[in-house]
Amino acid sequence: MPGFLLFSNMKYVRIEGSRKLASFIEPMKAQLSDLPPFDGSDWIFEIKWDGYRAIAEINSHGNRLYSRNGLTFDKAYPKVFAALKNIKKHAVIDGEIVVFDEHGKPNFQKLQNYKSNDRYTIQYYVFDCLSLEGKSLTDRPVIERKEILKKILPASDVILYCDHVDTEGKALFREMKKMKLEGMIAKRKNSKYYIGKRTPDWLKIKNVQTQEAIIVGFTEPKGARSSFGSLLLAVKKRGKLVSVGNVGTGFTDKSLKELHTKLKKITRKTSPLDIPIKETADITWVDPVLVCNIKFTEITEDGSIRHPVFQGLRVDKAASEVHLEKTVGKRSK
């Protein structure tokens, strides 16, 4: 169904000008780490960009640009898609689409609401190359794949090579904190590319805590607030949909109105949660199909998220994919 993203429970969320591909490459994913920033001669370290993961396929049959779950991005981000034609090699590349605000910082909300005539800068930071001229590179070490990638990317203001720091992860993380960026990705130098897999060969080390959550309801607005007061959030735990609390900050007047319009179309009479919470009269339940990004300070012992801030809806994730991220501790040698 063109223009829509299909979720596992057969609900659809409108994505302007996009369609779900019948076949696509699912990118390799990093494991969330609870380790402090570290140095390591066997590791390289990259900026963790706050955007949409995107695979680009460049070939003579026609280029493709799409999300981690096969949602096309050619209409949503035409500047990025148009810039792909300047890559003269047949290749499959992996990176992150990012929009920068007026302060030069990545801004997820502006990416989600991006229009091609926006004054904000949009860039595609590319960090891996999966194949070149029809030959797979996934069995080669990441450090070799990045060297190949760097050589095939032409000079561009839109598609940029995502460079890395060798060995000195602590120094890079200090810079991330100064710049208030989300964090960094640590990659073992000899790591292969495992399509669709999440492995500890790639680690996410966050400066800002973020989490994807499923919207299961909203409360009535109070005071000067319009549309709704807060969103009720949930994640999947051991196959059950459970509450992780509410988020009531991070919205603009525009995002409140637009999100409320979406929510009113999917209201329901009963809670979708598998583990009930105390219900109040001001709650309106919705079908659990919309996924959002939030940032927060910590997760409490009972599983609630403290001090959450809404960052925007995710168009590239189905509700069935949303779990509390598992962390990895001690690094393997």
Mean pLDDT of the residues in the chain: 89
Same domain, 30 and 162: yes
Angle, CA 136 vertex, CA 133 and CA 139 arms, to 5°: 145
- Give the model's pLDDT for residue 3: 39
Rg of the chain's alpha carbons, rounded to an integer? 20
Same domain, 180 and 261: no
Domain annotation covers residue 147: yes
The number of domains in the chain is 2
Domain annotation covers residue 174: yes
Domain annotation covers residue 163: yes
With a cut of 90, say whether residue 316 has pLDDT above it.
Answer: no
Same domain, 43 and 166: yes
pLDDT tens-place string over residues 129-149: 999 999 999 999 999 999 999
- Give the model's pLDDT for residue 6: 35
Domain annotation covers residue 30: yes
Same domain, 97 and 38: yes
Domain encompassing residue 290: 209-327
d(CA 124, CA 113) in angstroms, rounded, equals 16
Same domain, 219 and 143: no
Residue holding tokens 């680009």? Answer: 56
255 Rama class: left (phi>0) / alpha (psi -120 to 50) / beta: alpha
Token reading at 328? 């990895």
Terminal Cα distance for the chain, rounded: 47
Same domain, 168 and 229: no
Domain annotation covers residue 233: yes
Same domain, 175 and 95: yes
Q: Which of 182, 206, 230 is the last residue of a domain?
A: 206
Token reading at 321? 């994919």
- Give the model's pLDDT for residue 208: 78
Domain annotation covers residue 332: no
Q: Which of 57, 51, 89 is nearest to 72 (CA)?
A: 57
Structure confidence at residue 329 as a pLDDT band (50, 70, 90): low
With a cut of 60, say whether residue 88 has pLDDT above it.
Answer: yes
Stated pTM of the model: 0.76
* % of the chain at pLDDT higher than 90: 67
pLDDT tens-place string over residues 178-220: 888 889 999 999 999 999 999 999 999 988 788 899 999 999 9
d(CA 73, CA 76) in angstroms, rounded, equals 5
Same domain, 240 and 199: no
CB 98 within 8 A of CB 49: yes
* Distance, CA of 302 to chain centre: 26
User: Can you tell me the mean pLDDT for 24-34?
Assistant: 93
Structure confidence at residue 13 as a pLDDT band (50, 70, 90): very low
Active site residue 326: no
Same domain, 320 and 307: yes
Residue holding tokens 């409140």? Answer: 256
DSSP string, 6-53: E-TTS-EEE-TT--B-SS-PPPPEEEEE-SPP---TTEEEEE--SSEE
Q: Which of 142, 175, 206 is the last residue of a domain?
A: 206
Q: Single out the catalytic residue among 20, 29, 48, 257.
A: 48
CATH number at residue 157: 3.30.470.30
Same domain, 253 and 130: no
Same domain, 285 and 153: no
Domain annotation covers residue 157: yes
Beta-strand runs (E) in 178-239: 183-188, 198-206, 209-219, 231-237
Domain annotation covers residue 333: no
Q: Which of 206, 228, 244 is the last residue of a domain?
A: 206
CATH number at residue 264: 2.40.50.140
Residue 92 burial by Cβ neighbours in a 10 Å radius (0-12, 13-18, 19+): buried
Which of the 8 DSSP states describes residue 85?
G
- Give the model's pLDDT for residue 327: 56
Same domain, 215 and 202: no
